[in-house]
A and B are shown apart, each in its own frame.
Chain A
Amino acid sequence: MTPTPTKMTPATAWMLAVRDRRDRAAFAALFDEYAPKLKGFAMRGGSSATEAEEIVQEVMLTVWRKAAQFDPERAPVSAWIYHIARNRQIDVFRKERRPLPEDPGLPSTVDLDGGAVLAVEQEANALKEALARLNPDQREMIERAYLGELSHQEISSQTGLPLGTIKSRIRLGLERLRHELRELR
């Protein structure tokens, strides 16, 4: 069983309980935390309330079923759920399966590196704060980019924009991930 590092966010702890112990109470807590966010996200992206709830259902069930793939040393809970949400939204609306990279393999459930988990969470927090500090126009563009509303061309033509201030945060995360992945293969 995974030793629980101190100071881990509740979301990460719930997700690990779901992954390692199939803990239903933890899943219900995750649902209460993320279902309203997912519904808001889908409706911001143009879905009706009914469609948005369908997406929430699909995404949360996928979170339960694919929990074994969650790796808190590499991705915060929010990023993992975002990834699933984009997949489901494409599957549902475009009626085609989104091409996904080869699976890098399941994370270990025995030796969790608490330091790495905290680093991932701190980064996620820093990203959120960087997002909050943007001026409203920049923020709107970032949101539209990650809601999938901007084409590749629109993203490339916004020099420095889609990532703007948060670019440096993404870079930092990148360096750490590169390091992690290098050790993996």
Chain B
Amino acid sequence: MTEITHHAPDALLAAYAAGSLPQPFAIVVAAHISLCNDCRAACAAHEAAGGAVLETVGEEAVSDALRGRVLGLLDAPSVPEPQFERVGIFPGPVVEAMRGRPPRWTPLGMGIRQCILASGRQGSARLLSIPPGRAVPDHSHNGLELTLVLQGAFSDETGCFGVGDLELADQSLEHTPVADDGAECICLAATDAPLRFSSLIPSLLQPIFRI
């Protein structure tokens, strides 16, 4: 595996550790951390800071009833949370977002395919599959876009992104990612606002494709 060179910035990891990221972004960060020990360590460091806040923010006395209830529930049966392991190129958090099933691709035209993983008021997360050498059409973002490479590689104005690399793009970046030659490039992409493709799909149709 190639070395990961594009990491999650500190503020993004802090927001992830604090649980304040919208769900689509949290999926991408959790997937990147699954592939990247540097960011796993950075996230743990933020949790240590969170722990320091927990230790110092001030105490509130708890009721005796609560104490009795918790100690009385130690033997109560509990349903273990499902654990999702990596499947092929897909990190556990992506497998979880796909509910353990293989991706169901929808063609977007020009050989580009997508699979929506989550979509709602918080934004959306999707898988994108781009044929080798093909450019993802010009698009601009209203908010933030996170893209994590799961297979292949792409390049744009800001650099080359291989497996495990994470790209952040905001309003200020108008970029044209081009999939490298070789394998199809499969990415996990999340946005907190609809993506606007200027050339691929007329914007009227965008709600239909949920992009």
Which A residues are within 8 Å of any B CB, using their own CB? 24, 27-28, 31-32, 35-41, 43-44, 49, 52-53, 56-57, 60-61, 64-65, 74-83, 85-87, 89-90, 94, 96-104, 123-124, 127-128, 130-132, 142-143, 145-153, 155-156, 162-163, 166, 169-171, 173-174, 177-178, 180-182, 184-185
Contacts and interface: CB of A to CB of B under 8 A. Distances in A.
Interface residues of B, number: 65
Contacts of A142: 49, 53
Contacts of B9: 156
Contact of B57 (A41, A56, A89, A182): A41
B91 to A, nearest CB: 6
Contacts of B55: 37, 78, 128
B70 A31 contact: yes
Contacts of B33: 101
Contacts of B48: 75-76, 78-79, 123-124, 127, 170, 173
Given A35-B67, A53-B63, A152-B144, A146 B12 contact: no
Contacts of A132: 56
A76 B48 CA distance: 7
A123 to B, nearest CB: 7
Main secondary structure of the interface of B (DSSP, over half): helix
Contacts of B62: 35-36, 39, 53, 56
Contacts of B15: 145, 150-152, 155
B169 interface: no
Contact of A39 (B21, B37, B60, B144): B60
Nearest to B92: A102
Given A82-B54, A86-B19, A174-B42, A181 B37 contact: yes
A61 B184 CA distance: 45
Interface of B: 9-12, 14-15, 17-21, 23, 25-27, 29-31, 33-34, 37-38, 40-63, 66-67, 69-71, 73-74, 78, 81, 83-86, 91-93, 96-97, 144
A143 B57 CA distance: 8
Nearest to A49: B60
Contact of A146 (B49, B61, B96): B49
B71 A39 contact: no
B44 A74 contact: yes
B26 A99 contact: yes
A124 B57 CA distance: 15
Given A155-B11, A155-B15, A101 B54 contact: no
A44 B59 CA distance: 10
Contacts of A152: 11-12, 15, 20-21, 25, 144
Nearest to B19: A86
A99 B78 contact: no
Given A78-B55, A178-B41, 13 more contacts: A35-B66, A36-B62, A56-B70, A83-B50, A98-B26, A99-B23, A101-B91, A128-B52, A142-B49, A146-B54, A152-B12, A170-B49, A181-B37
Contacts of B91: 101-102
Contacts of A174: 41-42, 45
